Structure 1
Amino acid sequence: MHAAEEAARAVRPTQAPAQPQAQPPAAPPDPREGPPEGPHEGLRALTDLFAETGVPAPLAARTAARLGPGAAGRLRDDPWRLLRVPGVGPRQADHFARAVLGPDARPDDPRRGRALVLHLLTEAARAGHTVTPAADVVSALERVQVADPRRAVEAALDEAEVLALTEEPEFDEEAFEEDAEPPEPEETLGPARWALAEEAAAEGFRRLTLTAEPLLDDATVKGLRDGLPEDRSLALTAALRTGVSVLRGTPRDLARTALDVAAAAAGAGVRAAVAAPTDRAATVLAAADGAAVTSLHRLLEPHDDPSGAPGAVVYGRGEQRPLDLDLVIVTDASALDVELCAVLVEACPDGAHLVLCAEPDAPPPAGPGRPLDDLEASETVPVVTLDAAPQSDPIGTLTEAVRGGDLVAVDAPGREVVIVPADGHEEAVHRTVQLVTDSIPRALGIPIDDVQVVTPTTGGDAGATALNTAIKARLNPGPGRFGGLDPGDRVVVAAPLPHAAVGETGTVTGGGAHGLDVEFPTGPTVISPADASRLRHGWAITIDQARGTPRPAIVAVMTPDGLSRPLVTTAFGLAHRHLSVVQGAGPNLAKAVRDTPAPPRRTRLARLMTQ
């Protein structure tokens, strides 16, 4: 399963309805469908439809969550809407359409072409792209036997879920030669949800930059800078004098500097806040300094969508109710996709200062876009890089070597780093279970609750799903009484909840008709039955879900799939006291560290910042 699919969110301020949504709301009721269906009646109708047409029953819940209570009626009217459901491809949708429409299901049906355009762009978004060249979309439509691809694109544009965008060409030296033909603008297409979010993020960054004034006078800033190293002094100055700034450095250096800047600003009367990716990360960061730290999710005040949009979370902070802050410092801001980034800048009032912290060459976010990298590439905001403190501990030494492209052996007399070879997926799973349930608690005295397994992917024979199955069988066997979960299971938030951000982990304590009882770092909460599908088993989670939340012990399961230098660096850097590397990737691990950067993404934010 795609990481972006796991982390799909519907985020928008309650008082700013123009904000983009992560999952489109259900379509308005069609009067021909009769009275609106409740969730139970809707799911029953959908289950019946799938039984009639031979669609696997487990797909019903996922389809209802994506298309809403009236999904069955909408699919009867347009069976190719099934392509909106993650995991459904053109062949399955065509088969379903033939089962629903019979001989009327034709390859040239306008509904098919329209749905395929959105499907292709959504698949590109799952790979991180916010836009795709129109020519690539047309070529892909031809390969799936769409007779008139241009007509299909026009039909998708008419639905307003797809936008056509013109990208002005970049000029190089050859373009200015006397006989050179000027390059033609490139037409691109993007899902409206992501294209609008990218525009909103750029607009917000420009607004904060233009409305910013120094938060403190020069004499006060000079006093705060006295005695600071040059890099820390530059970071403090950028935070207090400019509307938006980027701070790069190692996780430990960033955490220390973020807390110091916030404390210095607050001591001079500035309303400041430090926001971490999860409540657990915020707790760890606050414990190191006693500072006031919160999660970004909680800072934005999430709650249920009153419109009842399926899978939606809305934020109470926005244009009409901005944050009561002068300075916001976000740790691990490289994890922000364009949608959450748009919500964040919309919540910052005019004149507020925003500091975005990230490691150098950090992995891009799980969702589409790469806002932080684009912001830096636009050269419109100051970027301060902290001098890396010398690494004396084995975990830090290994992580910094990997960041530089080298996989080295480190001396770890206290077993801070242990490499565990694994020949194949089966052995990787076996070794991981052994480490979590026995070796690390017994040999190092680190409780199982403080051990987190991370891996590049969800699927596969040694992905997060397979690892969780094996760990549950040893630690907490059970029938999965509550939607596959049992009391005692560790869970991770795979799509945002009002109660917790993506990547937050907790423990199931009970459940019933009222929902699922989960103990999160901030305390107990009840997850409604409709929202429980946003949880997954969480003994093993993807590196994307884990980023920004260090743990005492990390078991990094390295398999050949999905490896890159930024991802490996992030995985190793999550360990605070101990790192076990289950080496199931063979020579591919060293090759990925040496040669494989993060995959490129097609985005627009850097261009939008300079328009």
Structure 2
Amino acid sequence: MSETTSLTALGLPGDLAARARAHLGEDAEALLRGDPWELLRVPGVTPAQADRFALSVLPSADPQDARRGRALVGFLLAEAARRGDTALPGEAVVRALGGLRIADANAAVNAALDEARVMLFEVEPELPDVFDESAEELPEAEQWLALARYGLAEETVAEGVQRLAATAPPIEAGDGAAEHGEAARQALFHGVSIVAGPPGSEDGLIADLRALEPSLDVPVTVAAVTATAAARHEGAVSLHRLLEAREGLGVLGYARGEQWPLEPGVLVVTGAEALDVELAAALVEACPDGTHLVLAGDPDGLASYRPGRVLADLVATQEVPVTPEPPDGGPLAELAEGVRAGGLRRVEAPGKEVVVVAAADGREAAHRVGQLLADSIPRALGIDVRDVQVLTPGAAGTAALNAALKARLNPGPGVCGGFDAGDRVVVAVPFAEAAAGETGTVTEASPEGLTVEFPDAVVRVPAASLPRLRAGWAIPVQQAAGTRWPAVVAVFPSAEGLTRPLVLTAFTRALRHLSVVTAAGPGLAASVTEFAPVKRQTRLMSLFM
């Protein structure tokens, strides 16, 4: 009997049995027989589903079972991580447990802490801008809970930033340094510095450092969150490649780290707003003492696709020198700066740098996007369809849009998992050869698998690994942070879920041309002026207090 079949016999539907097997490993059956609420570790499983499954395994299952309470603590923190949070106030977790019929929430938290998947931290509350210094007592520290992986990663980032700031001596660049910009001077003087501005504002810094490199005693390295982003700068690499991603025991890790660090020098990371807390932790661990780390990104845009808001948190600490960089000129910059300021401006674009296309609904929007990619953009602007990326809010809206675009741009039988040669794909779960969020093109397709060409690698993807890929004609705006394309089509099927950072990120992904296809009506402008996202809950800033 196969593992999946045995899980089906245990009471799991076929699709859920396959997912449980993938996430819980070869011992899934034994694990779930011993503790059916471990099913909550599988993404997408709800407490109600886990409770029904528990009754099929343990007919006398009790809602107050300590195993249930422990699992629900992990579930709540995992759900928060999917929203981008790295931790939650303990009081919020206790309240949520009460809503899930846990009578003794504190006992459930203690059980989760005993298992060591969850950690407890003391977090100093943020003081208001105007604080009464005559107050007899300062606000007390709060207890926060985090999944261990994210709690430890945030501590690694804080310790790494402080270590580099303390160990990197100023780099002498001779008299030539005075002729270059403030960002370059800060990069050479400080162990950690930030260049804050719209995408592309790091170009001057990189040009200055490249010009100074012959007079420096250390190399200058430029890295980006994806190979697509790295291709903008000569000699740049993706962080995935720089840190030498490796797979082992079903887990992705990096060969570079504390035991095998990078060469000391100046390291500039572009698109740093897309750094999640675990990637940032791997990055600082790989930087040896004496490295000058420069994070260049837009703290006003969307934070990383995965948990954390590293760049914005480091800016907020005021412990790291920040050099603001102004935008370049032109219609694209003018439109983006209007959004940044809270307004949706009408801009003059004589070179068709910005085009707005109104649609009545999502279906018409998809039709308009197909026209733009198949005809208008290549014909009128000379931009190849391979250099055009469609962005839309959230993962839910991409499926129908991808289906429509495939039918228009690359119809075919879908010989392997719905994919054919010529299809665009995006990496959902990283490979050793390609990071999550990397886009590529299928060059060969057969029932056995796909060959995918990414900007810096050609990867053979067997059929069994296809769940790591998604159709990539259209990708979520959230997954585009840190990367830019020659042309972007930003699609807003409705006003639902739109916020100023999301719209700003969508608009700033384009290098030469932006088409805005909107069925959101006045909701698009309202999202820019009125709606801000809920602030992610993280601990990183508090670690510098």
TM-score bucket (shorter structure): over 0.9
Change (3 A) 1:418 1:113: same
Aligned match of 1:573: 508
Aligned match of 1:10: none
| Aligned AA (1:192) | A
**Residues matched between the structures, number:** 543
Q: Distance in 2 between matches of 1:397 and 1:171?
A: 35
Where do residues 63-212 of structure 1 align in structure 2 (5 Å cutoff)? 63-101=20-58, 103-170=59-126, 176-177=133-134, 180=136, 182-212=138-168
Unaligned stretches of 5+ in structure 2?
none
Q: Distance in 2 between matches of 1:78 and 1:543?
A: 38
Worse overlay, 379-388 or 434-443: 434-443
Q: Distance in 2 between matches of 1:61 and 1:509?
A: 29
Matched, 1:604 2:539: yes
Does the 8 Å CA contact 1:46/1:71 hold for their aligned counterparts?
no
Aligned match of 1:251: 199
Does the 8 Å CA contact 1:175/1:181 hold for their aligned counterparts?
no
Cα drift, residue 181 of structure 1? 5.4
Cα drift, residue 481 of structure 1? 3.0
Change (3 A) 1:316 1:569: same
Aligned match of 2:274: 335
| Aligned AA (1:478) | G
For residues 460-501 of structure 1, what are the alpha-carbon distances to aligned partners after superposition, in whole Å with 9 as ceiling and x for unaligned?
Answer: xxx112211111122223343323322222101112211111
Where do residues 432-471 of structure 1 align in structure 2 (5 Å cutoff)? 432-459=369-396, 463-471=397-405
Q: SS of the counterpart of 2:391?
A: strand
Aligned match of 2:343: 406
Q: What TM-score, normalized to structure 2?
A: 0.94
| Aligned AA (2:432) | P
Matched, 1:53 2:53: no
Q: Distance in 2 between matches of 1:421 and 1:240?
A: 48
Percent of residue pairs bearing the same amino acid type: 51
Q: Distance in 2 between matches of 1:46 and 1:507?
A: 32
Change (3 A) 1:609 1:171: closer
Matched, 1:594 2:529: yes
Aligned match of 1:300: 243
| Aligned AA (2:260) | R
Does the 8 Å CA contact 2:264/2:290 hold for their aligned counterparts?
no
Aligned match of 1:379: 318
Aligned match of 1:422: 359
Cα drift, residue 415 of structure 1? 2.4
For residues 164-201 of structure 1, what are the alpha-carbon distances to aligned partners after superposition, in whole Å with 9 as ceiling and x for unaligned?
Answer: 112234556766546x5553331111111100000011
Cα drift, residue 152 of structure 1? 1.0
Q: Distance in 1 between matches of 2:321 and 2:306?
A: 25
Matched, 1:236 2:184: yes
Q: What TM-score, normalized to structure 1?
A: 0.85
Q: Distance in 2 between matches of 1:213 and 1:501?
A: 33
Q: Distance in 2 between matches of 1:92 and 1:107?
A: 13
Q: Distance in 2 between matches of 1:590 and 1:347?
A: 43
Does the 8 Å CA contact 1:262/1:273 hold for their aligned counterparts?
no
Matched, 1:223 2:179: no
Q: Distance in 1 between matches of 2:142 and 2:375?
A: 57
Change (3 A) 1:325 1:304: same
Change (3 A) 1:486 1:386: same
Q: Distance in 2 between matches of 1:266 and 1:599?
A: 46
Q: Distance in 2 between matches of 1:48 and 1:476?
A: 40
Q: SS of the counterpart of 2:232?
A: helix
Q: Distance in 2 between matches of 1:532 and 1:583?
A: 32
Aligned match of 1:11: none
Q: Distance in 2 between matches of 1:210 and 1:574?
A: 35
Worse overlay, 245-254 or 336-345: 245-254
Change (3 A) 1:443 1:109: same
Cα drift, residue 129 of structure 1? 1.6
Does the 8 Å CA contact 1:248/1:357 hold for their aligned counterparts?
yes
Does the 8 Å CA contact 1:277/1:295 hold for their aligned counterparts?
yes
Q: Distance in 2 between matches of 1:408 and 1:193?
A: 43
Matched, 1:543 2:477: yes
Cα drift, residue 522 of structure 1? 1.9
| Aligned AA (2:55) | R
Q: SS of the counterpart of 2:201?
A: helix
| Aligned AA (2:285) | E
